[in-house]
Structure 1
Amino acid sequence: MAHIHPAGWREMSVTGSAAREIETLTLLEKRLSDTPYEIYHGVHWTNVEHGFSAYGDIDFIIVAPNGRLLLIEQIAGFLNESTDGLVKNYQGKPRRIRHQILHTIEGFAKRYQGELSIDYLLYCPDYIVKDPQQAGIDPSHIIDASTKGRLGATIREILPLTPRTEEFDRVTRFLGDTLSLRPDPSSMIGCATQMVTRLSGGLATWARRLEFSPYRLRVMGTAGSGKTQLALAEYTAALDAGLRPLYVCFNRPLADHIGRLVPAGGRVANFHELCDAWLRAQGKTPDYASPAVWAEIESSLASADLPETWQYDVLIVDEGQDFSVTWRDIVLRMLKQGGRAIWMEDPDQNLYGKDMVPLPGWVVLHSNTNYRSPREVVQMLGSIGAVSQPVEAGSPFKGADIEELTYPEGDVEAMLAQTRRAVTTCLAAGFGRQDIAICSFRGREKSAILKLDKLSDAHTLRSFTGAYDLFGNPVFREGGLLAESVYRFKGQSAPALIFTEIDFEEMDELTLRKLFVGMTRARLKLVLVMSERASVQFLDRMSGGGELKL
């Protein structure tokens, strides 16, 4: 079968970029599927800002088994026919097609050390060449709108199938060195973020169009369904309307993350920050050495008369699955009469085993499409039974570049060695340190990796020490690689995620939820560092639930 290089061109269709090139690739894949051709193109993330040609003005390069090359230049839109042949206007300047093709062929021949057999094809799917004899190009090498149905057949005629030769290997090595076949992850990350934001932003659009009074909306949304976009849209809209919004969640890291995204005004805090701020506003300093400190603060907040400065027009609760009934009552007391309230949660991310908080009379909206996690991750989680309801994979990315590294259970040094290897793998794939996050399956107290300042001299860690400064801010180690527990990293994500210290005796409900949370943090690449016994159970569940394999 024909092989198309590089992969990932189908995913580019959601950007709206390279639409005509992708249309042609789809046609080539269909018409040449039974051939041993190698097809090269320039439709990938690195070229988003620079056009989509594979080399010079050439859009596609096809290599036959004998090493013969066919260069295809695709020109969309209209052409001019002059006495000098076919002419295309680029940015207002006329360019002769014959000259472009000859210049590219000459460039290829000069760079190749040896004799290179090259042919060419002009493909103009939108234009009918009126006088092929005056085109300046052999008419048999022109496929226009009237003959585009013969594109596949013409390629087969120009590149007859022969046995594979050594020249084929030399030519493909040459193309591998000459063309930008490896997409740049830094370019891919930016496009991925924009696409996922746009796709998952639908929840923020239609959830806010619902009208009912009082406005009490409970959103039960899976990971990557757009809950964060909804929170940001609601928060910003409140500020634009001159209202005071309150965003409150369970995790401090998530609150810090949201606080960096929203405009100034209103309040963003996790529940314990809110409690701390309330006590300090009363002129008291929390005694965090006391085991009853949080119960005392909660009791104080639950019964106090709240001043106007502690009342808000809009309430946004995130990670509602981690809230208790007491917490629910406290935050709802902060909502003004007639205010708007949105409660967002995901039962599959309930890591603390709490019962779902009852919200009688609230409108419930389900959002079961994950736009952030690559489709392979979503399918894998479904195959091991890690989702309570079927989740639709809505990401533009099919593969997640998933890797598994194992270690003997209880062997901390082996686990650390495999984690270091995972970091090296991500760096070698082109991800920067700022794009990589290490997420531990264990909590901070039981994790070996989260107690370290560094994995190696080259890999220092930025992780929470467990201490807070005088202003209640968490103190972090000053390293280059972010390292968090699965509990603290919930609600966030990274382009490349290393999910490490995965070890369990049996795949119970809590284990499945932790796997769900951890694996859905990856946006592009996922490396699972797991014990051998955990790996066996994982693969057993996958083989029982689907055909996906690591």
Structure 2
Amino acid sequence: MAIVTPPLESIRPATPGQHVELEVLRQLATGLSDDFRLFHSVDWTRAQPQGDQHGELDIVVVNAAGDAAVLEVKAGAVDTQDGGLTKHYRGLAKDIAQQVQWQFGSILHRLKQEGLDVRLLHLLVLPHQRVGEQGTIRYPRERIADAEECQDLPGLILRRLGRGVPSPQQARVTAFFANRLNTVEDLSLVASQLHRTVQRMAGGLAEWVPRIHSPSGVVRVVGTAGSGKTQLALALLREAASLGQAAAYVCFNRPLADQMRDVAPAAAQVGSFHQLAWAAAGRSAGVPDFAQLGEAYAQTLAAAEPDLDLLVVDELQDFQLPWVVALLQRARPQARVLLLDDPNQQLYLDREELDIPQAVRITTWDNYRSPRQVVQAINAFRLSPRPIRACGPWHGQTPSFHRYQPSAGNLRRTTEAAVRELLSAGHAPEEIAVITWRGRESSQLLALDTLAELPLRKFTGRYDEAGQPLWTDGRLQLDSLRRTKGQAAPAVVLTEVDFDTLGELERHLLFVGMTRARMSLAVVLTEQAEQALAAQLGGA
């Protein structure tokens, strides 16, 4: 499949003509190999003394050699009277010949200005019109693709433009049409912009799920990582706060609860299930017995009056059934209940499958957060029983894998090499999260104070009087895999990955770790783990 800029999933057509352009683009993307690069809606400028010229190219196809074909797509009827081609827009006639000649001459001039000596073709695409076998002096027939030829547009491109002999020139031409200047990329700025873009793209759940009517008031969203579940939860919590309604957000992971408390409305009750259970028990001194806390809290809720207009339960896959039953008793008769679930992130395999028959169930496998290359790796390793759809705007690089040998004592050195790789790529230390496969008691790295000569920011295991976690001062964050569930960072080093067989728990752990990365991912693993992953590729 050809590589498309911007990604197909991010294109939102607003007019009938734009819908046709998208269909042409999709046909080319699926019909051409990954040797080709496709660009949609490319803005261009040509500077001239009498004033700059501006325009937009519908579709640009670049082959492996860097040769390019510019496609001008004209949907609907085209007037062929008076020996020319005319398209009417809102009652105004537009001379297609003049547009095509102007476009072709300007783009050719700009290519030569940039020292790009490549072949440039221009193709007029008429998806809804048939054209005879003979062209005219203004319109060579081989530069027109009519409705019949549009049935196999990829084949026409291969015949006219060709696949091309792979050449480094393609990268320069690609950067030219992608409007990428030859500058040092500021990944910190890119990460910030990317995060905002992903939030906009992943906001679909927050837009339409609240409109769904559930007779029971219960909606269960089974959504993969990066599908927009958190945005949906926040949207409902903010709406409840604006209406003066009582709302609560309950999850399983304490770090996720701490993070949500920072962004959720102050009026909402936010906490992990065991945090709420401990608070209900009076926060007695000493290390709590979480099993007893859960049972006692369930009994307390069973005896209490319903008190919520909105209940959001996140990380449903990690909850025990009695906890969910107890929490549902907090919902008033007309309350809304949102259950957020992702079986691929279930890290406690003793949990029973939760059956909540009265819930309206919504399922989505669209990941907007992870780099597309990371999603491809997840699917290649078959970490999910169903392929995840890569819908994010960031293509990224293939995850890098670094092998360490526990017996050789080179874990730290190998992890530092992975960190330096991300630093060299342009990531700031504060953008990198080092996530260890092991817990606090068994990890070698969590005992360190520095990594790659950078001070580490680690959770101390303590909380302040307000219940906020206390961290060491440092620039490079280091934490365990289970604690990072529900969070993300621009760059991730997943380290101390060690398993012999890729079983269900290992798949889930690897899925969670890999989907924490928004831009770049490096994995530090043992030879046995590497072989287990390679076996998945061989059996695919």
- In structure 2, list runs of 5 or more residues that go unmatched: 47-53
Deviation at 1:16, TM superposition (A): 2.2
Corresponding residue for residue 210 of structure 1? 214
CA apart distance, 1:337 = 6.0
The 3-state SS of whatever aligns with 1:488 is: helix
Distance 1:531 1:11 in 2: 35
* Aligned-residue CA RMSD (Å): 5.2
Whether 1:419 and 2:420 are equivalent positions in the alignment is: no
Query: Does structure 1 conserve the Cα–Cα contact (< 8 Å) formed by 2:310 and 2:337?
Result: yes
Secondary structure of the residue aligned to 1:511 is: helix
Amino acid at match of 1:422: A
* Residues 293, 470 of structure 1: alpha-carbon distance in 2 compared, 3 angstrom cutoff: farther
1:401-451 CA distance string (max 9 Å, x none):
333221112555x33333333334445666666654332211133223334
Change (3 A) 1:153 1:369: closer
Taking structure 1 as reference, are residues 224 and 242 closer, same or farther at Cα in structure 2, changes over 3 Å only?
same
TM-score scaled by length of structure 2: 0.71
Match of 1:263 in 2: 265
The CA distance in 2 between the partners of 1:510 and 1:328, in whole Å, is 23
How big is the shift at 1:476? 1.9
Using the TM superposition, give the Cα deviation of residue 82 of structure 1 relative to its aligned residue in structure 2, in angstroms: 12
Which residue in the other structure is 1:246 paired with?
248
Mapping for residues 114-513 of structure 1, pairs under 5 Å: 116=117, 118-125=119-126, 137=138, 139-140=140-141, 142-143=143-144, 145=146, 149=150, 169=167, 171-172=169-170, 175=173, 178-180=176-178, 186=191, 190-198=196-204, 204-205=209-210, 208-212=212-216, 215=217, 223=225, 227-275=229-277, 277-278=279-280, 286-287=284-285, 290-292=286-288, 311-324=307-320, 327-328=323-324, 331=327, 334-336=330-332, 339-356=335-352, 363=358, 369-372=364-367, 375-380=375-380, 382=382, 390-396=385-391, 401-411=398-408, 414-426=410-422, 436-457=432-453, 459-494=454-489, 496-507=491-502, 509-513=504-508
Q: Give the letter aligned to residue 214 of structure 2.
A: L
Structure 1 residues 160 and 525: CA distance shift in structure 2, 3 A: closer
- Which deviates more, 69-78 or 511-520? 69-78
Residue type matched to 1:406 in 2?
Answer: R
Q: Which residue of 1 aligns with 2:39?
A: 42
**Identical amino acids, percent of aligned pairs:** 27
Give the aligned residue type for 2:144. Answer: I
Q: Is the 8 A contact 1:495 1:522 kept in 2?
A: yes
Following superposition, the deviation at residue 327 of structure 1 comes to: 4.8
Write the mapping of 1:46-65 to structure 2, written as runs, cut at 5 A.
59-60=59-60, 62=62
- Change over 3 Å in CA distance of 1:74–1:420 after alignment to 2: farther
Question: Is the counterpart of residue 102 in structure 1 residue 88 in structure 2?
Answer: no
Q: For residue 484 of structure 2, give the secondary structure of its aligned residue in structure 1.
A: coil
Return the offset for 1:245. Answer: 0.8
Structure 1 pair 488/411, CA: closer, same or farther in 2 (3 Å)?
farther
1:139–1:418: structure 2 CA closer, same or farther, 3 Å change rule? same
Using structure 1 for the length normalisation, give the TM-score: 0.70
* Counterpart among 514, 517, 529 of residue 512 in structure 2: 517
Partner of 2:51: none
| CA contact 1:10–1:22 (8 Å) conserved in 2 | no
Distance 2:119 2:505 in 1: 60
Deviations 1:331-375 (A, max 9, x none): 45644566444444445544345443877x752565554322655
Residue 193 of structure 1, CA deviation: 4.1
- How far 1:533 moved relative to its partner? 1.9
Q: Which position in structure 1 is the counterpart of 2:523? A: 528
Confirm whether residue 111 of structure 1 aligns to residue 108 of structure 2.
no
Q: Deviations over 1:249-300 (max 9, x none)?
A: 12122113333443342211123433454466xxxx642xx23476786687
CA distance in 1, matches of 2:32, 2:340: 48
* Deviation digits for residues 299-348 of structure 1 (CA, Å, limit 9, x no counterpart): 87566699999933332222344445775576456445664444444455
SS of the residue 1:112 aligns to: coil
Instruction: Sort the Cα spacing of 1:239 and 1:392 in 2 relative to 1 into closer, same or farther, 3 A.
Output: farther
Task: Report the CA distance between 1:211 and its aligned residue.
Answer: 0.5
SS, match of residue 422 in structure 1: helix
Query: What count of residue pairs does the alignment treat as equivalent?
Result: 507
